[in-house]
Each structure stands twice: as C-alpha cells, then as structure tokens.
Amino acid sequence: LSFLSFLFIALGCFAKAGAIPLHTWIPPTSQYAPLPVVAYLPASVDKLLGIYLLVRAVKDMFILDNLSKAILLIVGSFTVICAVMMALIQHNIKKLLGFHAVSQVGYMVLGIGCATPLGLAGGLFHMVNNAIYKSCLFLGAGNVEKNIHASEIDNLGGLGKFMPLTFLTTLIASLSISGIPPLNGFVSKWIIYQSLINFISSSNSTILKFITSFSLASALIGSGLTLASFLKLNSGVFLGRRKEKVKEVKGLLLFSPLVLSSLCIVFGIFSYSTILPFIKKGAGEFSLGGLWKSSLATNLIILGVIFGLIVFKIMSAKKIRVSPAFVGGEELNIEEEVKISPFYNTIREMKFIKKVYNLAEKKNFDVYELLSKFVFLFVKLFRYLHNGVLPTYLVWCLVAMLGLFFVFFK
C-alpha cells in the first residue's frame, strides 16, 4: 500500500514537473504560449512545485525500497536522454527550450532517486538553478522574437552584433544549463554525479548498481548533448551575418536577463557561501568536503586563461602562412551563408534512432494521446446508454435504487 501511495504521488510530481512520460504538454506550451508566461510557469514554478513535493515525499513521508529507487532512476535517465535527443532536431527556439525544460527535470529526479542527503541536496540545488537559467533563456528568446518577429533558427542569425547584451546573457545561461564550470549548473550537476557515484559504491543490489551506472552515464552524455544543442541555438541565432540592422531591447526586458545571468555566476562561484548552506539544512546532514570547490576552480580557470593569452600573444608574434580554406575542390562563394541546422539533420537520419524520431513525432509515446483512445471508448459506451430516451433513464434509476438497497440492507 505504501508503494502504491508513493507511486501515485510520484506520478503527480512527474506530471507537474514534466518528467517522461508525462512531459508532452511542455514543448507545445513553450512554442505557442507567451514567453513571459512560459518563463514563469513551465520553466520555473512548475519545477519548483513538482520537485519540492517529490523531495518532501522521499525525505519525510516514505522510506524508499530498491524498487522505488530504481523507478526514479530509470525515469530520470530516460527523461534526460530522450528529451535532449528531441531538442537536438528542433528548429524552433521556443520548442527547443521546451524540450530542455523537460530534460533538466531528469537530473533532479536522478538526485532524488538516490534518496541520500547529498542526492536530495543536488536535486534541490538543480531545481533552483534550473529556475534561474531557464527563465533567462526564455526571456532572451522573447527579446529576439520581439525584435525579429520570428523564432525559427533558420530565419535568424547575426544578432550578436546588434544585441550584444542579450547574446551575453543567453550565452551564460546556455553554458550554465550545459554544466560548464564555474557556473551554477555545473555545481548542482556535480553534486548529482557524486551522489550517484556514492550510491553505486554503497548499494548492496547488483541490479540497482547497474541501473545507477546507466543513470550516471545518461547524465554525463546528456550534458554533452545539451551543449551541442545550445551550440546550435547560439550560433544559429547570434552568429553569422545579418543585412538589416536590429536594435537592442531596453529597460526591464534587458534588466531581468542580466540579473538572472549574474545569479548563474554568483551561485556557481560562491555556492558554498550562498545557497548550499540553506539546502544542506533542508536536505539533511552531508559533508561538503569532496564537493566541487568553485572559488578555487575559478581562480585556476582565470590563471589558465591568462597563461593561454600569453602563449597566444607569443606565438602570434611569429610570421604565419595564410592559405585559402580547402572546401573539397569547390569554389567558395563569399555571399553564400551556411546555416547550422542542416548539420544537425544527420542525427535524425541515423538508422537506429530514425524510427524512434518518427514514432515520437506521430505522438506514439504521448501518454495523454494513448489514454484518450481508451477514454473515447467509454464515452461511446455512455453515449449509447444515455440516449435521451426517458424509459432508459427510468431503468437506470431503478438499477441505482436496487444497488443501494443491496448495499445498505444486505
């Protein structure tokens, strides 16, 4: 009974947060709803409500057995991989971000699935981080759509020159969601990785160890694919050339992304002193000794960049040979612009995932669509029984009365 109770609560949390297979409402909502609404609801508030309830259920309401943990880990793994694979082939900015809103839920579920203080802390921290950088990304996409009146990546390009601050904030949020140090997305993902590694070493079940190892691999691969999809977004929208001039947005339209992108940096570099102490109190006691030390890593990264610039300056002082780019023997037309989206279309043509993509686009994995077919069967049955004929309704009343007599006077 307790397992069924937890399962139904988890299903409610999955539907609210947008985990697979109850995720299919998020991408269409992201594509067609006003972007400020999307930045507030699917990108942040829904994740906060669904994931927080799941954390409270795991920490305070239930003691999870191996089966419950395995279900959470499997759901988290498939949410990360499947959603990010769908994001790779999208050509619409908002729909691409919608699938990433789904994929990030997978990381939170993976941390919670470990049912350890470290895993719960990682899930909560990633929940907060997701609300920050995902809202920043949606607001940046809204600024682009407001100026260009288009959201298809192939119709954009070259906006970085005219909208530098929007480009900067979107780039910071893109690196953060991809898990690039020293931003906040990396810190929370690192905690989740470490909780999975610790869970592998402490688990007594061989099957659970295998599932956790698969989950860890899925999380790592998902981060790489996330970076690849945001490389597509940033290069397709902000890089390249653009003939017509565009003005940068002003006022609150720019202020909000600037604040959110700054929080991505602050919560990454100063996570030990800002957000993690509060999460530690809520998630339970755990040691911070083996976690990612953001301030030290940031100093090392800065030193590495300075050293690299010095080496580049020394090497660039030498004479170098300039040769024309080799393009396979073809003549290169300077006016011809190559879009980045066609390079990602090759992913769709891979034999082992082409059929999966086709089934996904036909909504064969949509739980709501599949359930609607069964609902329509019951609707047809009740439509036949409730046909508007008075004698039929009198028969139903008689059957109901007999049923009540049988229940109360047996």
Mind listing the pLDDT tens digit for each residue in 180-197?
Answer: 888 888 888 988 888 888
Whether the pLDDT of residue 320 is over 60: the answer is yes
Question: Among the ranges 31-40, 209-218, 311-320, 362-371, which has the highest mean pLDDT value?
Answer: 209-218
Contact yes or no for 178/234 (Cβ under 8 A): no
- Once rounded to an integer, what is the mean pLDDT over residues 125-145? 88
Helix, strand, coil share of the chain (percent; to 5) = 75, 0, 25
Question: Among the ranges 16-30, 172-186, 241-255, 362-376, which has the highest mean pLDDT value?
Answer: 172-186
At 101, list the tokens.
Answer: 């809103």
At 324, list the tokens.
Answer: 């024309």
Q: Which pTM value belongs to this model?
A: 0.78
CA distance 120 to 123: 5
- Once rounded to an integer, what is the mean pLDDT over residues 3-26? 83
Whether the pLDDT of residue 22 is over 90: the answer is no
- Once rounded to an integer, what is the mean pLDDT over residues 146-151? 83
CA distance 12 to 2: 16
Least confident of 51-55, 212-216, 340-344: 340-344
Q: What is the pLDDT of residue 269?
A: 82
Task: Read off the pLDDT of residues 24-69 as tens digits, 9 standing for 90 and up.
Answer: 778 877 777 777 777 776 666 767 778 888 888 888 888 888 888 8
Contact yes or no for 66/113 (Cβ under 8 A): no
Scanning the structure block, which residue is given the tokens 């980045």? 340
**374 sits in which H/E element:** helix 367-385
Report the mean per-residue pLDDT for the chain: 80
For residue 74, name the pLDDT band (cuts at 50, 70, 90). Answer: very high
Least confident of 87-91, 317-321, 391-395: 317-321
